[in-house]
Amino acid sequence: MIIVLTPNCKEENIDRISEHLHKLDLKIHKSRGEDHMILGVIGDISRVDIDKIKGFDGVASIIRISESYKQCSRSFHPSDSIIHVGNVPFGGKEIAVIAGPCSVENEKMIKKLSRELTRSGAHALRGGAFKPRSSPYAFQGLEKDGLKYLKEASHAAGVPCVSEVMAISDIDLFCEYVDAIQVGARNMQNFSLLKALGTSSKPIILKRGISATVEEWLNAAEYIVNGGNPNVILCERGIRTFENSTRFTLDLSSVPVIKKLSHLPIIVDPSHAMGKRDLVISMARAAVAAGADGIMVEVHDDPINALSDGPQSLYPKQFKQLMKEIQVISQVIGRGLLRQ
């Protein structure tokens, strides 16, 4: 439920309304709409007497949020949220780029690659350490050592880092080593994990589930936000359809749809969607043109011998070229690439 206040509503009136709602165990979130201050009411509103609220001084109108997700909805928070990963803002005017290998394979490779990627303009590094592999026989990641190497590499390169968590029991470890925690597509509806991440202060990059609708995805984000962590960045990574010429179908239409429905930033991962390196570049360009707040791409210095996702990993040289291209595209749409 949203309470729209009159333009001249006094602080003391807001306090009176808040006090009344707090007594009903409801939380209040203040934000500014286009020309009005609004109060978002969080919790079970079934006991709220709407007519009574309308009677408070300073109340212009009351709007019920019809979406199943509330705090992530655009009506609850009309302006765009800007979420910082380290010192890198996602969701502002400029576009940010996260790049790195699918998995951290060893210390030397992540350090060398990190230097190269940041020289090409990457704003943040990625690298998996606990890998959600389809086969139990495939490389599972270096676990804690992987996080350690990633952190050292990101410090040396002077940019923040991101890695995927799979288990609640590893969250504390991730908080020690990374600047943002990724929830992979396969865990998007792992509600216990989402609730646990709601109590963390780290930004969360929430990938879209393989067969999740936009509504299910936003409800997954709502679990994290409702748990107390408002710092969620959504990441479109492709969904499963009947089409099999690409690994998944990159649903770029979700970018403007999310922008309409939610205030949260959205980035696009074209690597996992396309599955083939030669197809990744065009969809990375398209993601920026579609209005994404950033992209996440896999890059490897020796993709042929990569321990995971080699076929979709760009060569560093291709990444460098892509950065130049998205610089131009982002300027055409009035945004620009974030300066490092």
Give the binding site for ligand PEP (CB under 6 A): 102, 128, 132, 164, 184-186, 207, 237, 269, 272
Task: Please name the residue that has the structure tokens 């216990």.
Answer: 192
Q: Closest separation between CB of residue 124 and Mn ion, Å? A: 16
The smaller minimum CB distance to ligand PEP, of residues 81 and 103, is found at: 103
The smaller minimum CB distance to ligand PEP, of residues 132 and 158, is found at: 132
Helix, strand or coil, per DSSP, at residue 60: strand
The smaller minimum CB distance to ligand PEP, of residues 207 and 263, is found at: 207
Residue 207 interacting partner from ligand PEP, Mn ion, none (CB closer than 5 to 8 Å by kind) = ligand PEP
What's the rounded Cα separation, in Å, for the pair 181 and 205?
A: 6
Residues 51-110, interacting with Mn ion (CB under 5 A)? 102
The smaller minimum CB distance to ligand PEP, of residues 259 and 272, is found at: 272
Which 8-state DSSP code applies to residue 165? E
Neighbours of 35 (CB within 10 A): 6
What's the rounded Cα separation, in Å, for the pair 270 and 236?
A: 8
Of 59, 207, 309, 322, the one binding Mn ion by CB under 5 A: 309
Of 228, 127, 219, 123, residue with least CA distance to 178: 127
What's the rounded Cα separation, in Å, for the pair 266 and 82?
A: 10
Residue 185 interacting partner from ligand PEP, Mn ion, none (CB closer than 5 to 8 Å by kind) = ligand PEP
Q: Closest separation between CB of residue 273 and ligand PEP, Å? A: 8
Q: Closest separation between CB of residue 296 and ligand PEP, Å? A: 7
The smaller minimum CB distance to ligand PEP, of residues 5 and 306, is found at: 306
Q: Closest separation between CB of residue 141 and ligand PEP, Å? A: 10
Q: Closest separation between CB of residue 128 and ligand PEP, Å? A: 5
Burial of 9: CB neighbours in 10 Å, binned 0-12, 13-18, 19+: buried
What's the rounded Cα separation, in Å, for the pair 208 and 258?
A: 12
Q: Closest separation between CB of residue 291 and ligand PEP, Å? A: 20
Q: Where are the alpha helices (DSSP H) in 238-296?
A: 254-261, 270-274, 277-290
Q: Which residue is nearest to ligand PEP (CB)?
A: 184
Order across the sheet with 27-32: list the strands: 27-32, 37-42, 2-5, 59-63
What's the rounded Cα separation, in Å, for the pair 330 and 112?
A: 28
Residue 165 interacting partner from Mn ion, ligand PEP, none (CB closer than 5 to 8 Å by kind) = none
Residue 179 interacting partner from ligand PEP, Mn ion, none (CB closer than 5 to 8 Å by kind) = none
Q: Does 306 bind Mn ion (CB under 5 A)?
A: no
DSSP 89-114: EESSSSBEEEEE-SB---HHHHHHHH
The smaller minimum CB distance to Mn ion, of residues 160 and 238, is found at: 238
Q: Does 164 bind Mn ion (CB under 5 A)?
A: no
The smaller minimum CB distance to ligand PEP, of residues 164 and 170, is found at: 164
Of 73, 33, 126, 84, residue with least CA distance to 233: 84
Q: Closest separation between CB of residue 164 and Mn ion, Å? A: 9
Give the binding site for Mn ion (CB under 5 A): 102, 309
